[in-house]
Structure 1
Amino acid sequence: MSSSTLLDPREAPAGPNRNEIIRSGLCIGCGACAALPDGTRVRMNFDRHGQLKPSGSREWLHDRNSDFSRICPFSPVSSNEDELAERHFPVARNRDPLLGRFDAAFVGHVEEDDFRANGSSGGLVTWVAAELLRRGLVDGVAHVTAADPTTDGDRRLFRYTLSRSLEALSAGAKSRYYPVEMSEVLETIRTVPGRYAIIGIPCFIKAVRLSCALDPILNERIAFTLGLFCGHMKSARMAESFAWQMGRDVRDVAQIDYRVKRPDRPANWYRAQLTLRNGETRGRDWWDLADGDWGAGFFQNSACNFCDDVVAETADIAFGDAWKEPYSADGRGTNVVIVRSPVLLDLIRDGMRSRRIELSEVDADFVIATQAAGFRQRREGLAFRLSWPRWGLRPRKRVAAARSGLSARRRMIYAVRYEISMWSHRVFWLARRLRWPGLYTTWARAALTCYHGFAYSRGRLGRMLDWLGSTGSEGRD
C-alpha cells in the first residue's frame, strides 16, 4: 500500500471555482467536491442530459476555494497523474509513458469459486477486494452496486456503497456503464473509523488521491485503491435509450446487465439485458442497437475528451479486459492487471501459488496492445482535440496539442466522434421532451453510418481519405 504526503492548502495556487469547471465541460461528476468538509450541504444531481453535477448555492458554486481546485481531477491546477504516481510509487520497477509506474503486469482469470462467472471479465477485481476483506487488510470496500428502488428516491439505477462482507461485495461484480458519484461513501469513511479500499475508474481514483493529500482522515483510512481501465463515462441516458429500443420505459426497469456473459460467445460480443419490475427480461446485442458502438462516443461525458489516463495510473492495482487474441475470443472473460503496490503484488503471487487465480506475467507492450484503441483516443486523439479553439478553461494535460502527423482519416474519425458525443445528449434531450424515441434512434443510426464510413470504409470514401493524408496510425477503433 502507499501513503500520501499531506499538502498545505495555503500553498495552493488560485484555481477555478466549481461553476467554471462545470461550464467548461470538465466536471466528471465524481462527487469529491461535494464531500469536502466545509460545512455546506451539497447534493450530486442529474442534469438535463443525465450526468451527475454538484448542486449547491450560488455562493458555493462560485467560491474560489483552493481545496476544490486541488481535488478536482480535471482542474488545471491539480497534480497530474505523473506527479501523483511519483509520490505514491517512487520505487516502482517499471516506468512506461502509457502505463505509468508499475511493478508487474499479468493476464489471466480467477479459478476460485464463481468469481469469474459472476464478473464481466476474469473476476479479478472482486477477488482482490474479497481477499483484502478476508485477510483483514480492510474493514470495508467502496464499490458500485445496483441502487435499492425502495430507498433511492431519485431513481438511480446504480450508486456507490460500502460493503463489509463477502456476500455484499459480490453484488458489485459486473461493469456499470452509468454515472455514479462518491460523496456519500467519502463522508462515511471520514465519519466511521476503519481501513477502506475504493474501486473506481481512473479519474475517480485520481480524485481520491487528491482528496487524501488534503485530508489527514481520508489519508489514514483509505488503505488501497483499485482502478478500472476506462474508455469513457456514459450518461444515464444510455440506459434509457437501451430501454426505448427494447420497447420499454426506463422507469419500468429494475435492473440492467450491460454485459451478459455467455461462454459460447466471444467476450467482446456485448449483450445488454433488462430485468423489468414485473420480472420480465429483455435483451439485445449491442451491435443491434442504434448507439451500440462504444467507440463512436454516444452519451460520453464531455470531460472524457480531456482525459489522458486509460489504465488508472494512480491506483495501487488496476484491471482491464484483455482485448487481444486469443483472450478476447474467450467468452468466460480474461483480465489484464497492472500492480503497483508491493502488498498487492504479494497478494497476487500468493493467489497464483495456491492456484486460486491463473495468471501469466506480461510486459508493457502486451498491456498496451490490449487497450490500443483507448490509447489512440486518449493520446493521439487528445493531442488533436487540444489543438482546436476552445471556450472556457483549458485543462493541463501531459499531451501537447498537435495537428500534424495525423492522416485525414484519423482526423475525421476524431472529429466525427466528438460531434456524436456532443449531439447525442442534445438530440436525446429533444426526443425525450417530445416523447418521440424515433427522432433520436433515426439520428443515431445516421450518425453511426457516417462514423463507420469515415472510420472503416475501404470504398471510394476511404480511398479518398487515405489519399488526402497517408501519415498517422490506422486501424479499427
Structure 2
Amino acid sequence: MELDRYGQMKPKGPRTWLRGRDEDLARTCPFSPVARDEEQLAAEYFAGAKNQDLLVGRYEAALVGHVEEGEYRSNGSSGGMVTWVAAELLRLGLVDGVAHVKQSDDPQSEGRLFHYSLSRNLQELQAGAKSRYYPVELSGVLQSIRGAPGRYAVVGIPCFIKAVRLACADDPILKERIAFTLGLFCGHMKSARMAESFAWQMGEDIRHVKRLDYRIKSPDRPANWYRAQLTLENGETCAQDWWHLADGDWGAGFFQNSACNFCDDVVAETADIAFGDAWKEPYSSDGRGTNVVIVRSKALLDVVEAGIDQKRLALSSVDADFVIATQAAGFRQRREGLSFRLTWPRNGMRPRKRVSARSDGLSRQRKAVYIMRYGISHWSHRVFSIAQFLHSPRLYILWARAALACYQGVAYSRGPIGRIARSLGLAGSEGRT
C-alpha cells in the first residue's frame, strides 16, 4: 500500500495483478463483494449478544461518559476511553501489545505524518492518543504481529477492523494472536492532502511540519469546535479553528477517500468495543470531551464494569436510539446517502451493500447535498493537485471557499446561495447534514 498522487492509500503491484483477480484479496478486502459483510461477521463473533439494532449492530451494552482516572481524558480527543481500555488490557496482562496509529518520528524521511505501530507499555500507548484524520495502512503492523508470538489488540476505524476480522479468518496465526479489536466511529477517511491544505492555510509548508494535532482540546470551548495545531521543525507552533479553514466543514467531504462513498458501517459493528464522540447535548458542549461506547465483547464488558465499580470510569447506560442520535449525520450519509449513490451509473464492479439502491422518498435538497458532497470529494483532490503543480495555494483556497459556500447554501440555507437554492426548491430549513 502506498500513497497515490492524491494522498490516498492504494495497492501497488504488477499490472497483471492489479488488472486480474486475486482470490485472497477478494476474501479479505473489506470492500470486496465476495467478502462476508459486517452482519455476517458480527453474527459469528457476537452470537449471544443481549441487544441487536439495525444501525448499531449486536452489542452487550451502550454507555456514555468519560475516564475519571489520571489524565486520560485531558490527553485524548474525547473522553479518554480508547486509551484507557487499551492500557487496561496491557495492565491486566490480557494483551502483550496494542496496534494503533502514532505520529511518525521523522515525517519527511518516512513520507507520511502517521503510521501504525505496536505499543507494549503505557508510555508508548499514550504517544498514540488523540484522533488522526490521515491515511494509514495495516500491513506492516500485521506482519509484526505474525513475527512476534503473543496476544494483541488492534485499534482502528470500521473498515480496518473488518479487514482484521477477514484476515484472521484467512490466517490462523493472526486469529490466534489478535485477541481484541477496538473500533473507532467513523464519518469518513481523509487523504494526506487535508494536512497539507491546513498547513497552506496557516502559511506553512507541510515539509517543515514535525507534528499535527487535529483537535487541540480546551475545557472552555465546546468539544465540537475543532482546532488544529502544527508544530514545526524549529519548535514553533501555529493553530487555527477548523471553521476558519476553507475546507474545515467535515460534512462537506473535502479530501474524502473515494471508498468511503460505499461504506455502510459507522460504529465499527465488527469490533469487540467501539468508541465515538457523544455529539449530543449536553455532551457536545463539554470541552473536556465525552465518549459514547458500544461494548460487544462480554470479556471487555467485565473490564469496563470493573472500572465503573472502582470509580475510575464515569459512565452511564444509554440505549441504541441515543447512540444513533449522536451519529445522526453519519448514519444519513452511510445509509440514506449510500442508497441514493448506488442508483448512479457505475463502471466496473458494483459493490454489494446492506442497503438497496433507491432514490424515492428523498427530497430535492437531500439529493443535492449528496451530489455536492460527492463532487467536493472528487474535485478537491484534483484542484489541489493543480494548485500544487502551479505552486498556487490561493487557487485551491479560492475554489474551496466557493465550493463550501455552495454546499452550505444548499445544506444549511446560508447566504445568498441559500436564498437562490430555496427559490429553486433545493434548500429548506432542515439544518441537517
Q: Does 1:387 align with 2:346?
A: no
Structure 1 residues 140-168: Cα deviation after superposition (integer angstroms, max 9, x where no partner): 00000000108x72321000000001110
Give 1:244's aligned amino acid.
Answer: W
Q: Does 1:378 align with 2:334?
A: yes
Q: What is the aligned partner in structure 2 of residue 69 from structure 1?
A: 26
- Aligned counterparts of 1:469 and 1:248: Cα–Cα separation in 2: 37
| SS across alignment from 1:153 | helix
Q: What is the aligned partner in structure 1 of residue 291 from structure 2?
A: 335
Give 1:55 shift. 1.6
Give 2:353's aligned amino acid.
Answer: K
Give 2:399's aligned amino acid.
Answer: W
Give 1:315 shift. 0.2
Structure 1 residues 307-355: Cα deviation after superposition (integer angstroms, max 9, x where no partner): 0000000000000000000000000000000000000000000000000
Give 1:469 shift. 9.5
- Aligned counterparts of 1:204 and 1:254: Cα–Cα separation in 2: 26
> Equivalent of 1:217, from 135, 160, 173?
173
Q: What is the aligned partner in structure 2 of residue 130 from structure 1?
A: 87
Q: What is the aligned partner in structure 1 of residue 412 from structure 2?
A: 456
| SS across alignment from 1:178 | coil
Matches within 5 A, 1:50-449: 50-149=7-106, 153-449=109-405
- Aligned counterparts of 1:179 and 1:314: Cα–Cα separation in 2: 21
Q: TM-score, normalised by structure 1?
A: 0.88
8 Å CA contact 1:120–1:174 kept in 2: the answer is yes
8 Å CA contact 1:408–1:465 kept in 2: the answer is no
Give 1:183's aligned amino acid.
Answer: S
8 Å CA contact 2:409–2:419 kept in 1: the answer is no
8 Å CA contact 1:316–1:341 kept in 2: the answer is yes
8 Å CA contact 2:412–2:427 kept in 1: the answer is no
Range with greater deviation from structure 2 (173-182 or 57-66): 57-66
Distance 1:412 1:356, change over 3 A: same
- Aligned counterparts of 2:151 and 2:311: Cα–Cα separation in 1: 28
- Aligned counterparts of 1:343 and 1:155: Cα–Cα separation in 2: 39
8 Å CA contact 1:456–1:462 kept in 2: the answer is no
Give 1:462 shift. 4.6
Structure 2: gaps (5+ residues): none
* Aligned length, in residue pairs: 430
Give 1:216 shift. 0.5
Structure 1 residues 14-56: Cα deviation after superposition (integer angstroms, max 9, x where no partner): xxxxxxxxxxxxxxxxxxxxxxxxxxxxxx2110000111222
- Aligned counterparts of 1:194 and 1:154: Cα–Cα separation in 2: 28
Structure 1 residues 161-183: Cα deviation after superposition (integer angstroms, max 9, x where no partner): 00001110000100000000011
User: 4+ residue stretches of structure 1 with deviation over 4 A?
Assistant: none
| SS across alignment from 2:352 | coil
Give 1:271 shift. 0.3
Distance 1:215 1:350, change over 3 A: same
Range with greater deviation from structure 2 (127-136 or 185-194): 185-194
| SS across alignment from 2:365 | helix
Matches within 5 A, 1:463-474: 463-466=422-425, 474=430
Identity %: 71
8 Å CA contact 2:412–2:430 kept in 1: the answer is no
Structure 1: gaps (5+ residues): 1-43
Structure 1 residues 41-98: Cα deviation after superposition (integer angstroms, max 9, x where no partner): xxx2110000111222224334422111010000111100011111111011111010
Give 1:58's aligned amino acid.
Answer: R
- Aligned counterparts of 2:349 and 2:75: Cα–Cα separation in 1: 42
8 Å CA contact 2:410–2:427 kept in 1: the answer is no
Q: What is the aligned partner in structure 2 of residue 5 from structure 1?
A: none
Q: What is the aligned partner in structure 2 of residue 35 from structure 1?
A: none
- Aligned counterparts of 1:110 and 1:332: Cα–Cα separation in 2: 11
